[in-house]
Amino acid sequence: MPIINPNEPYTFRKYFDLKIDPIDLALYFEYDYQKQRLSLPQATVSFDAAQLTERIERTLPRILSSNEQTKREMLVSPILRSILEHTAVQIRIEYPLKVTEQLQGVVDYLLSVHNLSQLVVIEAKNDDLDYGFTQLLAEMIALDQWERSPNVTAQSTLLGAVTTGSVWQFATLNRQTKQLVQGVNIYKVPEELDVVIGILLYPLTQPQTATKTGVAP
């Protein structure tokens, strides 16, 4: 019996709940999959992140809830709010997306510029980032096939992130070769907040050009 039933509808969240491995999901949708270290370019952060870092350092020890929604509001939202205040980035929150019956659901955060000319997707999780990647990759595959996404020439690589708020990991999708790469790099917030913001912003500061990314040796 196949892991994914081709005759049943699935949401992005369902892939997470079923604990489907990222490689099995990628192969089902006919994408190549690798899990390795990513060398991701960073945009120069044009604003001082020190104040935001200090604020997160003060509040992080006092966040006792394990609820996903609470962590998003307390840890992820301040980061995205700072990006909004200092850049031209647009953020769609809990954005409904449907490409097919098996590629549909709600995206936690969809970052873009110039009305979807460049895209970055973020999936927030309470824990279990491994299967969180499964959900993220399903969302990235959907965005690759979405009719409103920029064409491959405008954005050849999609960037995605899965986060608990204090831990961030990234993935890329090469839209020309259909290769998904799940990064093993772990970035901690607030310690590496400027790095996380720089990685998130890079694709969004490259309008109408291919997003550059690479796999570290």
Res 59: pLDDT: 80
Residue 54 has pLDDT above 70, yes or no: yes
Question: Residue 94: in which H helix or E strand, if any?
Answer: strand 90-100
Amino acid at the residue 89: V
Strand duo 214-215 + 167-174: pairing: unpaired
Residue 206 has pLDDT above 60, yes or no: yes
Residue 127 has pLDDT above 60, yes or no: yes
Q: Which is higher by pLDDT, 203 or 128? A: 203
Res 13: pLDDT: 97
Q: Could you tell me the pLDDT band of residue 58, with boundaries at 50, 70 and 90?
A: confident
| Residue that has been written with the tokens 């604003």 in this structure | 47
Amino acid at the residue 138: A
Helices and strands, number each (H, E), in the chain: 7, 10
pLDDT above 70 coverage of the chain, percent: 92
Residue 68 has pLDDT above 70, yes or no: no
CA distances from 181 to 22, 39, 140, 216 (A): 10, 11, 11, 12
Crossing angle for the helix pair 50-59 and 77-86, to the nearest 10 degrees? 160
Q: Please, are residues 120 and 159 in contact by the beta-carbon 8 Å criterion?
A: yes
Res 126: pLDDT: 84
Q: Please, are residues 33 and 182 in contact by the beta-carbon 8 Å criterion?
A: yes
Residue 69 has pLDDT above 50, yes or no: yes
Mean pLDDT of 139-165: 97
Note the pTM of the prediction, 2 decimals.
Answer: 0.91
Mean pLDDT of 179-204: 96
Quote the CA–CA distance of 36 and 71 in Å, as a whole number.
Answer: 27
Ordered by where they begin, the domains of the chain are 31-43+57-215 (3.90.1570)
